[in-house]
Amino acid sequence: MRFIKLAPAIFLFLAFPLFSDIPKPLHAPRAYDLLRGENLKICVPACYYCDDALEIQNIGNHQRFCQWNAAEQAETYDLLQRIANTWNKSNYAHNYLAYGMTTPNLRSERFSWAVIPYPDNGWNRLKQIRVIWNVAFGSPQNSDEERVAKATSIKEQTQYLSDPYMPDYGSGKPAKDAFCDGKVIENQRVFEGKRINVFYDRAPERIVDENPHFLITPKRHAVKLTELTEDEYTESMETAQKIADYFQRDNPRCTLHMLHKTGEAAGQTVPHWHLHVIVVKDDAYLPSFQFPCVKSPTSCTRISSPFLHLQRQFGRIWQGCQNFIYLMLPNRKLTDEELNERVAFYSREFEQSF
């Protein structure tokens, strides 16, 4: 009798996994984590581009950039705002850069954003060169112990991470910059979303050959990351995911580099927030990106033969030098005809594909 009364409860208990999302395994908390959200965390990075960089990582199942869903993009927005807030409040830095790279070529891509501050009283031009150097050659790696020690050493500038912050969306009124300019919008736009525009860069990055180079901007005038609304940020990222999918669908060698800058010291040249999406179609040019961690005993560079090891090391250095020179050189401006041709091509392609 008692069993019959309990039967519906037992049935529901057994059938529960069929009706609910199977809970995703979360990565265990680490001593170098600074703040954990629902799906993402802020931590001290393993591969670092500079000593005070922070990293936003997914702690759930969605490791690849294209898998991050709307909720995770919204949470990234929140964590980025918290990082900006703590650096502002502790008077550490008002300028910063976020950099991420997505490649289907790595067996287990674990996409993350490296967030790099440019301190108010720092040698920021030198720091920019150092960051470019680490991107070109592949960044060195912190051991777990080093990460924990760094988490302690940057405590002062990260003390306000969990504090509430006040968004400041700015006036939103059009300004005199390029991305509010009707002519630029007409000549360079390859895609129009609800709140964002995608432009083809007038002076695209060149690593050996020209790299397709897009700029995703909010239609509303916003200068800094902290002036963006959550909707503008998430739509920018969803559009970047569509661009990644378009290029990577049939090309597993294609790598996308994404970055956005706030403030002149971080290298922001147009005072209207924009996300750079730079496409490297054949990452044979960029072997250092496939072996990003120099010191790691567990990284993908585990090579058995000493000769092969040496050969690869020389290859890396040679390639790193080329990458560094290309990244440091100013990019050539396209002629009007070249620009028109690229804009027409990608407008057509994205209209069909998105």
Tell me the three-class secondary structure of 154-223, residue by residue: CCHHHCCCCCCCCCCCCCCCCCCCHHHCHHHHHHHEEEECCCEEEEECCCCCEECEECCEEEEEECCCCC
Q: Are 65 and 102 in contact (CB under 8 A)?
A: yes
Q: Residue 220 Cβ, how far from Zn ion at the closest point, in Å? A: 8
Q: Residue 274 Cβ, how far from Zn ion at the closest point, in Å? A: 10
Closest CA to 85 of 259, 269, 268, 225: 225
Residues that bind Zn ion (CB under 5 A): 175, 177, 179-180, 221, 272
Q: Residue 239 Cβ, how far from Zn ion at the closest point, in Å? A: 18
Nearer to Zn ion among residue 221 and residue 224 (C-beta):
221
Sign of CA dihedral 174, 177, 180, 182: positive
Nearer to Zn ion among residue 229 and residue 296 (C-beta):
229
Backbone dihedral angles phi then psi of residue 258, each to the nearest 5 degrees: -125, 140
Q: 3-class DSSP state for residue 54?
A: strand
Nearer to Zn ion among residue 141 and residue 217 (C-beta):
217
Nearer to Zn ion among residue 201 and residue 283 (C-beta):
201
Can you tell me the distance from the alpha carbon of 154 to that of 42, in angstroms, rounded to the nearest whole number? 13
Q: Residue 183 Cβ, how far from Zn ion at the closest point, in Å? A: 13
Q: Residue 227 Cβ, how far from Zn ion at the closest point, in Å? A: 10
Nearer to Zn ion among residue 151 and residue 228 (C-beta):
228
Locus of tokens 């020690």 = 149
